[in-house]
Amino acid sequence: MSSPATEAVRLLAVMGQSLAVAESLTGGLVAAEITAVPGASKVFRGSVTAYATELKHELLGVDAALLARSGAVDPQVAAEMAAGVRKALGADWGLATTGVAGPDPQDGKPVGTVFVAVDGPATALAGSAGGGKVEALRLNGSRAEIRMESVRSVLALLLERLAGEQTGNERTQDTERNGGF
């Protein structure tokens, strides 16, 4: 079985679409996983590792008031990071990771609190507010384990959205599942 990164690169290539990544707690691990795949250059535009909170605003366009109010570990911040990197790097799809890998809590959030997000054409069709789909994770383990599980989770979220995009928009799929209603 191929890795999630391999499958994502394959699907993006088949669809003729591109990907960009915004990372915080994963510090470039998502980009490393994607670029380890032969042929990734056909689909991967680049990444921004915005570890410092102010860079999330300066480079990715995350709302400064949101960052001041909620801190960097927030579902809306993840959504805005994904939308921001997609726009900044001119990609069809944007991924984002933000969270607390440890050893200490951050912004009042416990270690293992992670938000991963995807922004792309399917999310725009679905009309979801906030720039895309965000998944909240509560992870256990060491700092390294939390970071690696964050990479796996954001790639799984991308694959879920790519699969939906490849077979038609999500509303069509929902209608078919519900017997045409």
The model's pLDDT over 64-116, given as tens digits with 9 standing for 90+, comes to: 999 999 999 999 999 999 999 999 999 999 999 999 999 999 989 999 999 99
Confidence of residue 16 (pLDDT cuts 50, 70, 90): very high
Question: Can you read off the two tokens belonging to residue 151?
Answer: 């990479």
By CB atoms closer than 10 A (0-12, 13-18, 19+), residue 115 is buried
Neighbours of 121 (CB within 10 A): 16
> How far from 4 is each of 7, 43, 80, 108, 179, CA to CA, in Å?
5, 15, 23, 32, 31
**Does this model's pTM top 0.75?**
yes
Return d(Cα 110, Cα 72) in angstroms, integer: 13
Return d(Cα 33, Cα 134) in angstroms, integer: 20
CB 92 within 8 A of CB 18: yes
Return d(Cα 171, Cα 181) in angstroms, integer: 11
Confidence of residue 164 (pLDDT cuts 50, 70, 90): confident
Return d(Cα 96, Cα 173) in angstroms, integer: 26
Confidence of residue 122 (pLDDT cuts 50, 70, 90): low
- Measured distance between the N- and C-terminal CA atoms of the chain, rounded to whole angstroms: 36
Confidence of residue 129 (pLDDT cuts 50, 70, 90): very low
Q: What is the DSSP letter of 103?
A: S
The radius of gyration of the chain from alpha carbons, rounded to an integer in Å, stands at 16
Q: Which CATH number fits domain 4-171: 2.60.40.10, 3.90.950.20, 3.40.630.30, 1.10.10.60?
A: 3.90.950.20
The domain locations on the chain are 4-171
Of 25-29, 53-57, 131-135, the least confident = 131-135
